[in-house]
Amino acid sequence: MIGLPRGVQDIMPSEVKIWQFIEKTAREIFESYNYQEIRTPIFEFTELFTKGTGETTDIVIKEMYTFLDKKGRSLTLRPEGTPGVVRAFIMNKIYNLNIPWKVYYIGPMFRYERPQAGRYRQFHQLGVELLGIKDPIADFEIIKIAVEFLKNLNLANIEVEINSLGCQKCRPIYRKALMDYFASFKHELSEIDKERLERNPLRLLDSKEEKMIEIKEKAPSALDYICGECQEHFEKLKNYLNISNIPYKINPKLVRGLDYYTRTVFEITTDILGAQNAIVGGGRYDNLVEIYGGPPIPGLGFALGIERLILLLSKIDLDLSLDEKKLIYLAIIDQNSNNFIIDLSEKLIEKKYRIEIGDPSLPLKNHLKIANRLKAELVIFIDSLIKEEKIKVKKLKTGEERILNIYNLVSELEIML
């Protein structure tokens, strides 16, 4: 038997309802804020991620699925959605005529991580991106959409954490302060953290190394170093959140695992699984379009992991069968009724029922077994009665049986249901 590589999984038909529910809710919410779906390729040039996601990030250092194609070009399975969206924005010169540009995506991402509960090598994210608005109302809108989306999934126990990482002007000052602070603990740092210190000291705030947990407690906070403009931006965002009653917490140690963030970063966490877990991550990336060779256009967005979301939703009661169409099983016993069957199927579909056309080679009792297993509401027996223009129908829940005339069959069925 050929199995599956580590860290990937099938989403079987029995599990797919929750995926469809999440995707449907996402589309509804995102589209109601006038975001349109974009579908970018699964693989891109490796450079897109090294330049954008960033050379100091765990993703680029050790988690990318990178390979050479037959012509020796380096390609990478996308580890996150933002770079592809921004590339598409620039390549299609959207900035000339179409900003602000508001898009969302839903799809698989790939990271070579150690698989564990809720962490996979192929996983799925949905996210939104907004390009072309500098004003903090955009930061607010992005957070609001994420919150609203989670609320619509009945996830109530959520907390928004925000921070500001400053801009090109003030970030170097903060960076230097972090560098100086952590350098005084250099002898205590693990090898990985020493490397982080060299490459990008902001990463150390993200470190899960045991020693670091204590050290980073007293590390300088970005909010003490950001410039007046960044400060004002942050204050306005807080004001919007206050007005719309979105509870939030300022987490001055919040950094995100991607290099391109500027100013606002945020996470939405929940304690449904016990420890506090991030479910949504996002922020502003005002330099990314320029990094990719485009004009200076600001951007921001968030991404959410669908597998982790499903893990959370499994802890709360969700009835997904509510809007399911009722199932009618057609048990074909008379082999000469093709015209009638095709006609009836079309009528039932038109009336928004689901139908299961039984295998005509099966004996009667197997039809009933299958209809029960499928939880059909009704079984329609197409047998010799048809010669008398009659049809037997059975309601499985109650066992009630009726002989109906074929000419008003559909309206009679509606009464039985």
List of residues contacting ligand AMP (CB under 6 A): 80, 111, 113, 118-120, 123, 125, 256-257, 278-279, 281, 303-305, 307-308
Nearer to ligand AMP, 279 or 379 (CB): 279
Sign of the Cα torsion 25, 26, 31, 32 reads positive
Nearest residue to the partner ligand AMP, using Cβ: 305
Least separation in angstroms between residue 289's CB and ligand AMP is 19
Q: Compute CA distances 247 → 211, 214, 240, 268, whole Å.
A: 32, 27, 11, 11
Whether 139 and 258 have beta carbons less than 8 Å apart is answered as no
Sign of the Cα torsion 200, 203, 208, 214 reads positive
- The letter for the amino acid at 18 is I
Token pair, residue 308, equals: 């982790």
Nearer to ligand AMP, 23 or 113 (CB): 113
Distance CA 62, CA 84 (A): 20
Least separation in angstroms between residue 222's CB and ligand AMP is 18
Q: Spell out the residues 6+ positions from residue 79 whose beta carbon is closer than 8 angstroms to its own.
A: 49, 53, 59, 63, 64, 65, 109, 110, 111
Least separation in angstroms between residue 84's CB and ligand AMP is 13
Nearer to ligand AMP, 260 or 353 (CB): 260
**DSSP character string of 286-347:** TTHHHHTT--S--EEEEEEEHHHHHHHHTTS---TTTTPPPEEEEEE--TT-HHHHHHHHHH
Nearer to ligand AMP, 21 or 95 (CB): 21
Least separation in angstroms between residue 265's CB and ligand AMP is 10
Nearer to ligand AMP, 22 or 348 (CB): 22
- The letter for the amino acid at 31 is E
**CB under 8 A, 24+ apart: contacts of 141-144:** 141/33, 142/282, 142/300, 142/301, 142/302, 143/241, 143/246, 143/248, 143/266, 143/282, 143/302, 144/244, 144/246
Least separation in angstroms between residue 87's CB and ligand AMP is 17
Least separation in angstroms between residue 256's CB and ligand AMP is 6
Least separation in angstroms between residue 211's CB and ligand AMP is 23
Nearer to ligand AMP, 118 or 132 (CB): 118
Nearer to ligand AMP, 44 or 113 (CB): 113
Nearer to ligand AMP, 241 or 279 (CB): 279
SS3 71: coil
